[in-house]
Structure formats: structure tokens, C-alpha cells
Copies of this chain bind each other. A is one copy, B any other.
Amino acid sequence: MPRPLDLHPDRLLPADPATRTIARELYASVADLPIISPHGHTDPSWFALNEPFGNATELLLVPDHYLFRMLYSQGIALEQLGIGGHKANPREAWRILAENYHLFRGTPSRMWLDWVFAEAFGIDVQLDGETADLYFDTISDKLQRDDFHPRALFDRYGIEVIATTESPLDTLDHHRTIQACDWNGRVITAYRPDPVVDPEFEGFTDNLARFSEISGEDCFTWPGYLAAHRQQREVFKQVGATSTDHGHPTAATANLSPVEAEALFDRVKGGAASPEDAELFRAQMLTEMAGMCLEDGLVMQIHPGSLRNHNQRLFETFGRDKGADIPTRTDYVHALKPLLDKYGNAADLSIILFTLDESSYARELAPLAGHYPCLKLGPAWWFHDSPEGMRRFRLMTTETAGFYNTVGFNDDTRAFLSIPARHDVARRIDCGFLAQLVAEHRIEDWEAAELAQDLAYNLAKKAYRL
């Protein structure tokens, strides 16, 4: 007998009965608000082409590094799962996930997936070895139905706006298709220039060549390179972009003189930058980008602190983004000073900081965001985008930065089907946190009600200028 799957209406709310009652009421007031998704990695082709997704494995397992990294950690070969272009029988791969689903107990993946199974696909039994085929067939079948095509799901999910992320080398064709078509879903892009900003990115010099072609500027000269950025940022704005995003190994910034900056560019543009020059160039470019944000009004996001591709052999065999990116200790106080010395007091500038190093929340990030007009704190990110991670974020930032130097929730995902589940987790945790403040008589109930709306909807819209 398969075990029943049902999502408890009180899930993730505090256990204390009085606090839960408060939390439940707060949650009810925000549960059905539209979704603002200002930062994520969905594929614009889904919405441009509106073709059906494939099968359960292709949709839910293969693109989700949270899932296969856990399976891999327990000795399951990635080849068996069809990762990295390896051929695997999707039904067999799905069975491996099903038989190992207990590994995800206590993880957010479990909560996200159960929501997808129950709410998106209407499945009412738990996933395990016994129900693997039932799941595979149910999901794969439903995906072929019109009401499971990307645009239908987008509409059903109540998404008011979603941002994807593209590099300056992207032609944005899918975004143009979406703009031109008669579907009203608001899908926008975001400017993520890492491939042409990070001298250690794969193919950096080729990327500069391509950047020249796309922009019509000579991206092997410093003025041409900067002009290409300015121009492409405008192109991105035309398909809706309101933000840029920067995924650097550290939060280092620099403030070189124009002459120094040009000399540095000349040293790195050939693709043989020393590690020090590469770091300095990324650092300088964060400051350059902040300056451009002041010019064109885009909001800047900095996502530092991930040591990418830590597993050398895996990277060589399977490529990027295979679950082997590991967070590192990250300094913000010294790292951001050059940029802040130049632009920190500009109230028109908006820089949203993220971290993978929770020890910086109370020590560095909340004090910085609680002082500098240009700084805001992004939500708990990546490994910390989880119930306890979100709780720690609020517990460690609110007392110094308040709520209004934060920016609501980011789902930051390519797992499109779980987007409502992720926003739902954030809304539940935030309402639980607010309920605790009310239960301990630290804020009034009407303030909590206002804050619940702000955290679930208003702050994201405002911070991202949507």
C-alpha cells in the first residue's frame, strides 16, 4: 500500500499553538498574492516557443543539481541519471531518484518536489520505489496536455513578472518573441556579464570577440569594451531588464584610475591574465558597472563567494553547474570599500548583496545595509534558500538592517515547476517569523500584517523597480 501524500496546511508554521494561530492568519493574507520573481534562471525559450516539457526525468531531475548532487554524494553515478549529456533510460533514472527519496528528508528539495507532485500533478501517494512508475507515467503524460505547457503554467501560477538571466552574448531572440506575441505574460531579462567580465571564464577572449560582433564596438580596446557594455545594457532594457547580476568568486571591488584600468584591461584581454590581475579586473568591473547603473537606472546584484567547479574531475567530465560549487568565507567590509568610497552615498544607486557565508549576516551585511543608502540585502541564497536558512537570515539581519533594507524573495531557480512552492516556503517562514515577533509583543499585529504584504510582494517590486 503506497503511503498517502498530502501537504499539511500548517506546514512550516511555528509549532507553538498561539504563535501558529497568528502565523496562519498572516499567511492566509499573502498566500494568494501574485508571484514577483525578479531573479532566476528559467529558459526564455519555454515561454517563447511554448512547447511541452519532456518527461519527468528530463524536467525534474536532470536540470536540478540539488537532486543529483545528493544522489552523487551517496555513490550513485551521474551517468546512470543521464547527467551531462550521458544517455540513460529516463524511467530507470527516475526509479533511482524514487528509491533514494529518503535521502532528501529534512531538505528543501523534498518540500519543493512534494508540492510539485501534489499541487502541480495532483499525485496523492508518496514517491518511493513502489510508486516510481506511477509517478513517471503520470507526470510524463500530463506534461503533454495543453494546460501543462509553459505559458499555461505561468498563468496558472499567478506569476506577475519573471526575470531570466542572459549574458551580453545572448541575442535575446526568445525575449523578443515573447514581447511580440499575443500572450501577456511578463518575462524579462537581466544582464549577467560574467563571460565577458571574468578573465578566468571559459573562452574569455573568444567571448570578447563575440561581444565585439554583437555590439559593433571594438571590445579589445578599453573604451570600446565599456561602450559595448553600455550599449548592450540598453538592448537588455528594451526587452524589460531592470537589473544586472554578477557572480564573482569574491566581493572584491576596486577603484583604479582610468589609466590604470586601461592598462589592466590590456593585460587581461588576451586571455592569459594572472590570478591577481583576473581578480583585480573583476573588482574594477564591479565599480564600473555600479557607475553604469547610476547612468541607466538598472539595479545591480552581486552574488559572490562560490568556489565554482571544486570537483576537478567532475568538471572535466560533466562540465559546469553539476553540484560541485562550494561556498567560501567571504569578506564584504574591506572588499566593497573601493566601490562604496566612490558611489556608496548615491541614494539613486541600488546594489543588492547576496552571501553564501551566513557569518557575514549580522557582522557585516546588516551593518552595511543599515547604513549605506545604495545597499540592500538579497534574501537567503542557494544553500541557504531553505526554511532554516531563511529563519537565520531574518534572525540575524532584522535587528540591525530592519525589514526595509531587504528586498523580498528570489526563487533563483531553473526548476520552473517549483517556483510557487519556493515562494510559498518563503511566505510561510516570513509569516512564522513575524508571528513570533507578535507573540513576543515586539511588534503589533497590524504591523505584522503590513510587513507580510511587504515581504511577499511590495519589497521585491520596489527594490527591482518592476
Contacts and interface: CB of A to CB of B under 8 A. Distances in A.
Interface residues of A, number: 95
Given A333-B310, A344-B311, A395-B388, A326 B16 contact: no
A383 interface: yes
Given A106-B442, A325-B367, A367-B383, 5 more contacts: A103-B402, A103-B404, A106-B437, A329-B359, A363-B383
Nearest to A370: B73
A372 interface: yes
Interface in A189-241: none
Interface stretch (A144-152, A165-173, A267-275, A443-451): A443-451
B396 A313 contact: no
The quantity of this chain's copies bound in the complex is 3
A11 B441 contact: yes
Interface of A: 3, 7-8, 10-19, 69-70, 72-75, 102-108, 110-111, 126, 307, 310-314, 323-329, 331, 333-334, 337, 340-341, 344-345, 347, 356-359, 362-364, 366-373, 375, 383-384, 386-389, 395-396, 398-405, 436-437, 439-444, 446-447, 450-451
A399 B388 contact: yes
Contact of A442 (B69, B333, B345, B387): B387
B345 A74 contact: no
B11 A442 contact: yes
A447 to B, nearest CB: 6
Contacts of A347: 75
Q: Of residues A74, A359, A371, which shows the largest number of chain B Cβ atoms within 10 Å of its Cβ?
A: A371
B328 A334 contact: yes
B363 A359 contact: yes
B12 A107 contact: no
A313 B345 contact: yes
Contacts of A126: 444
13 contacts: A3-B446, A73-B369, A73-B371, A73-B373, A73-B401, A74-B373, A104-B402, A105-B447, A106-B403, A326-B333, A328-B333, A362-B384, A389-B399
Nearest to A74: B404
Contacts of A344: 311, 313
Q: Of residues A17, A307, A312, A327, which shows the largest number of chain B Cβ atoms within 10 Å of its Cβ?
A: A327
A299 to B, nearest CB: 14
A15 to B, nearest CB: 4
Contacts of A323: 371
Contacts of A389: 362, 399
A74 B401 CA distance: 10
Contact of A363 (B17, B18, B327, B373): B327
Contacts of A387: 399, 440, 442
Given A368-B326, A371-B69, A386-B399, A15 B439 contact: yes
A246 to B, nearest CB: 20
Nearest to A12: B440
Contacts of A403: 105-106
A55 B436 CA distance: 35
Contact of A106 (B333, B371, B443): B443
B440 A11 contact: yes
A104 to B, nearest CB: 6
Given A328-B333, A363-B356, A441 B12 contact: yes
Nearest to A346: B75
A372 B105 contact: no
Contacts of A108: 399
A74 B405 contact: yes
A272 to B, nearest CB: 23
A242 to B, nearest CB: 18
User: Closest 3 interchain pairs by CB?
Assistant: A8-B441, A75-B347, A11-B441
A451 B105 contact: yes
A72 B373 contact: yes
Contacts of A329: 331, 359, 363
Contacts of A10: 440-441
A450 B103 CA distance: 12
A337 to B, nearest CB: 7
A436 B15 contact: yes
A311 B340 contact: yes
Contacts of A14: 15, 440
A7 B370 CA distance: 26
A413 to B, nearest CB: 16
